[in-house]
Chain A
């Protein structure tokens, strides 16, 4: 379903597999003798980039640093989880047991795309773990939240960094993450996957 995610404008190609492939090719040239990623199986991420055996593969440390630095999600949030790659730059978060590599259809949930300049969390990840975020969270009023969930782009004020933001709203007295948005040029673009959009 994540492949249905819609990105418009400057970053339109970010989610396309063609661009993933191009980035992978660039990294291959840098990484020299390292093996290339095999797209039909799950490989566990190395703990650090020093332990990397596959070209372009990010490390667990880099993933934890990204979530911490961008969104303020504490690394210990993921103490009991492992991270896996299937397909170039598609990162999955998993709580169960599995050997690496393993050939299955999925492990846990797709949580992050890394083989593009700006890493992009998935809406499902944001809904599952976004309540731990303290930064780059844009709070939407009821009308804006409904438009966001319907997939609409909208002009909104935001003082922080441009790029991927966690959109949230207040639901029954608590902040609740809605999904991932892209903030550029004073506009919040909804990246809710087509299959998840609702008129509410």
Chain B
């Protein structure tokens, strides 16, 4: 937990934050509306006597009373998909519509890409990209299990992504859920901080910036880009968005989020960020008993 000490000045009730980080996280699933309504998924869980609680902030999120959310009939049929509660947020903020062209820049293992397909009613094009060939098999497995027919999978470096495999040259929306230092997954992966170093944070921030820049470039004017991480590090969150605001035609826009959260930071470690970053959201584990997360919504302006 030592890397978290530097967040003491920015987190209210820091002791509650630390205590929440020590607790393991329960099993959450997302209802895959390509295959089932929340009602049908819950009826299936009822039949097999698996207890659950429906999240008050989204009817498609269920907290299961089992340690094996993948060993249920609901999962076998593809009605549910194990997905951490906060991980459901970025596609909801992106809010794609049926028929649109949507890019998921770092898509493996596919939880959010399949959620995007579900949000467009599986009508349209979700381009699910990942640079890691090994993780693509998990992405394809999940896409097919969940019945996502609107999904195309590509294997490229998102930083210089080419739309050449497609006959359109820009996306309507892009999700940039980047690789990160994963501090916010500490409740799921207690060893998440073992490899933590400021050097790693700084080097991965460069990659994150490159991916977000490309996403803004590849999205049409008036289109939406959502940037998200599962880390608290401002160097990987507000600082990345701030750099891209300065270099690409885009602006931070507000969004509704039913979960308790803090505003994005506008200053950190003697640096100041664009004031609009206060419209971003920081979610801490003690606020909603979830993992940690950062989300910013951008509109492309040119």
Contacts and interface: CB of A to CB of B under 8 A. Distances in A.
Given A108-B148, A128-B149, 18 more contacts: A1-B137, A94-B150, A95-B122, A95-B150, A96-B149, A96-B152, A97-B125, A102-B165, A104-B165, A122-B144, A124-B145, A127-B145, A128-B34, A128-B78, A171-B77, A198-B71, A200-B73, A200-B76
Contacts of A171: 44, 47, 73, 77
Interface string B39-63: 0100110111000000000000000
Contacts of B149: 81, 93-96, 108-109, 128
A141 to B, nearest CB: 14
A143 interface: no
Nearest to A199: B71
B167 interface: yes
A154 B72 CA distance: 22
Interface of A: 1-2, 80-81, 93-99, 102-110, 122, 124, 127-128, 149, 171-174, 176, 178, 195-196, 198-200
B153 A198 contact: no
Contact of A97 (B72, B143, B167): B167
Interface residues of B, number: 42
A176 B165 CA distance: 36
A21 B167 CA distance: 31
13 contacts: A93-B149, A95-B122, A95-B149, A96-B149, A97-B101, A98-B125, A105-B136, A105-B153, A110-B144, A198-B70, A198-B76, A200-B48, A200-B71
B43 A173 contact: yes
Most buried by B among A81, A103, A109, A178: A109
Interface in B132-165: 136-137, 140-141, 143-145, 147-155, 165
Q: What 3 pairs across the A-B complex have the smallest Cβ distances? A: A96-B125, A128-B147, A172-B43
Contacts of B73: 171, 200
B123 interface: yes
B211 interface: no
A98 B150 CA distance: 11
Contacts of B141: 1, 195
Contacts of A102: 165-166
A195 B76 CA distance: 11
B168 A105 contact: no
B152 A99 contact: no
A66 to B, nearest CB: 18
